[in-house]
Each structure stands twice: as C-alpha cells, then as structure tokens.
Amino acid sequence: MKPINVGLLGIGTVGGGTFTVLARNEEEITRRAGRPIRITRVADKNLDLANRVAAGKASVTDDAFAVVADPDIDIVVELIGGCGVAKELVLKAIENGKHVVTANKALLANHGNEIFAAAQNKGVMVAFEAAVAGGVPIIKALREGLTANRIQWIAGIINGTTNFILSEMRDKGLSFDAVLAEAQELGYAEADPTFDIEGIDAAHKLTIMSAIAFGIPMQFAKCYTEGISRLTREDIVYAEQLGYRIKLLGITKRKPNGVELRVHPTLIPAKRLIANVEGVMNAVLVQGDAVGSTLYYGRGAGAEPTASAVVADLVDVTRMHTADPEHRVPHLAFQPDRLSDLPVLPMEAVETAYYLRMRVEDRPGVLADVTRILADSSISIDAMIQKEPPEGELQTDIILLTHLTIEKQVNAAIARIEALGSVSGKVTRIRLEQLAAR
C-alpha cells in the first residue's frame, strides 16, 4: 500500500526523536498503521542540523511554507512551537487539505478553537497527543477511553520542571533559588524559566484537557495561573508536619454553575499516589462518574517520550486517513455543534480548602483575633500549628488549615488579618485539595 508521506516542521529535540522512533520501530508501526509512514520532507532554519539528522532519509529545506504546500505531503507535523509562524503554517496546511500533528500546547490553548473549526471545514484531522504530558496518553484517554463517563474533575502534575524543583526543595531542604539553578544546570529548566515556574506551561495543558473533559471551547485567558516562585522551605516543612505535600497542580472541575480552571501550588495528602510523584515525572488524576479515579503517569518531556506521542498520532491519522470525516473522533471529544456554553468560573467563586501561614506577635489574644475573623467569614478551621518562638524572639508562626470555603471569603478574611497590628507582613495562602475518590 502507498506510504503516508509526512512533512516535518522543526528538527530539534522532539523532531530528532520522532525520526529515531519511526526508524527503530518501522516494522511494528507499519503493522499497526496498515501502511508505511515516512518523513519525506523536513523544514528547519538550521539546515546543518536538519541535514545531520535527515541526510539520505528526507529532503531538507529552510522554507516551511514549501512543505505545507507540497501536494505529495499527506500529514504535516508541527514542532516549531509558539503562536506566530506556527499558527500560519498550521492554518495553511489545513487550507491545503493536509492533516496536522502538533505538540504545540500554547498554540492550541490560545488558538485551538480557530484551528479546529478550520480543520472541520476542510475535513482534515488535527492530532495533539504530544501537546500534554509528553509520552503519557492522557488526550487519548480523555477523548476515547473515558468517553462513557461524565468527567467530574481532573488534577494533574503536568510540568516536570516545577515538580523537580518542589521534590528537591522537600528532599534536600534547599531554597527555591538554589534548586532552580540546579534545574538549569541539569537542563530541566530554561535559561528563562518563566513559562514553567509561573505555571503558564501547565495552564496551556490544563486548558486543553478541560476543553476535552467537559466539551467546552478552549479558554486559556480565563485560566487562573499562579506559579511556585514564592514558595519557601518553611511552607514545605510545615505541610509535611501536617501530613501533606505541595505540588503545582492543574485543576479543572465541573460545578453546577460552571467549570473551575486553575493552576497553583496545592497541598495534597501525602498518602495520595499523586503526592508521591517525584522529580521530572508527570501524573494526571481523572475522576469519572462510572470508572471512578484513574491515574496516568510517565515522562512529560524529552525526545523519545514526546516522539512516542507524535508517532502515535501519525498512526491514528494514517488509520483514519480515508475515513468519512463524520465518523472520526471529534477534536474535543464532543461533536463540534454540541459544545457546551458552561462558563469558566472566576477564581473568587472557587471552593476549596486552604493553608494559611502568618507571622504574629507572641502574646495572648492574637490567635483569638485571627479565629474570630475567620469565624466572621464563615471559615471553619480543620487543623492548627502554633510554633514556639526561638529564644529571644517576640514573633512566631501560626499555621491554619481550613475546611472547604469560597475563595472570595478567604480573600476578605486575609485582608482583615493582615490589617491586625499583631500580624507582620503578608499571610501566605496555599490551596488544599483532598483529591479523594468518590
């Protein structure tokens, strides 16, 4: 049978991994896909690199638009990244009747609605397993494996850099800055780590998963995003003493009045499996009404783990290449004309529990003032630690865990607590999730 011809845009780490995996497992992949899959054209601005990787295997050019216009190309794999030229290339490939495979989470989170609509109109597929959690097949699970379920919530460790930093801070008692420098030396963090440590990368991925889970359009601009750069060793230690670990989680939940969509540091009970995911690994916990809790774990980045997802998408598209577009799996799992208008809730409307740490004067009445303010805001205390001050010091830490409450009420209570003369500086607030199966 005629091979499927692939045009590869970007021959960096993942592109090179895709070449390697396709070559090493060629026989297995052909048996699964029903026909050979071959990368026949490669586009990259770095022609020397492209020729080193693809020499004798594919033609090489620095003109990506020539590849998406090539009538012999069946599938375009976009591994350039970003939302500029990558968007132009993807839309042009779709316009030319090419199927698209992409690992570009930023592009889909910001422009997925436009891209999927264009693909729907042209009767082509856009596959994006590699855009979320690298080699972990979470998109496939949400779109197909769990299709019988009404998804209730998703909670995921979906950024390996931040998980490595938090693991090292806990294990070695190091500061955030010290571990970030270590992560950069090891190649886990970029020279400019903002996208990772401030939660933006995780928010892109969560936006995609939320859209598939609940059948809503991509709405990245409405995702609450908070990173880990302000976390301290003290909070990690206090969390451990209370039986919790801190992870940067992407959380999306279906509520009667809308969808929660949020990324932030989160206390999780230490006994939960997801709390014990360490280093650069990813894990996604999904709660469905029929299946209960399912956990997806593996490498979220790297050449071959991500290439594994790219090649899986190539096989899927190859299998469905000649199928009636009406009988393909919809991009966001739900039929395009049946997407929900369920709104994304503002952060003030989110309901969760909280860890609150405050520096206070060590004198009678201070704790009573704090608890009175919480009671006035209908916030119930679940647990508390009051540290003995070091000898000669007049201030100490109070740490409180609350029961479930609304973010708006916590905001108001924190403002009142910080206004107390006995409280020094800002109250540290970290949200808390039990993630219990129901």
The pair of structure tokens assigned to 56 is 């004798």
40 has binding-site annotation: no
387 is catalytic: no
In angstroms, the CA 117 to CA 115 distance is 5
In angstroms, the CA 354 to CA 255 distance is 19
Q: How many CB atoms lie within 10 A of CB 324?
A: 8
222 has binding-site annotation: no
Distances in Å between the Cα of 277 and the Cα atoms of 85, 97, 157, 248 are: 36, 42, 8, 11
157 has binding-site annotation: no
9 has binding-site annotation: yes
Q: How many CB atoms lie within 10 A of CB 424?
A: 12
232 has binding-site annotation: no
The position carrying tokens 């494996």 is: 145
Which residue in 87, 98, 140, 205 is the catalytic one?
205
182 has binding-site annotation: no
In angstroms, the CA 125 to CA 201 distance is 24
105 has binding-site annotation: yes
Q: Contact at 8 Å (CB) between 60 and 50?
A: yes
Distances in Å between the Cα of 152 and the Cα atoms of 284, 347, 431, 434, 436 are: 14, 18, 19, 14, 12
Enumerate residues 6+ apart whose C-beta is below 8 A from 63.
43
Task: Count Cβ atoms within 10 A of the Cβ of residue 221 and give its class: 0-12 exposed, 13-18 middle, 19 or more buried.
Answer: exposed
Please state the length of the chain: 438
15 has binding-site annotation: yes
- Summarize the annotated binding site as residue ranges: 9-16, 105, 190
- Summarize the annotated binding site for NADPH as residue ranges: 105
- Summarize the annotated binding site for NADP(+) as residue ranges: 9-16
Which sequence positions are flagged as catalytic?
Answer: 205
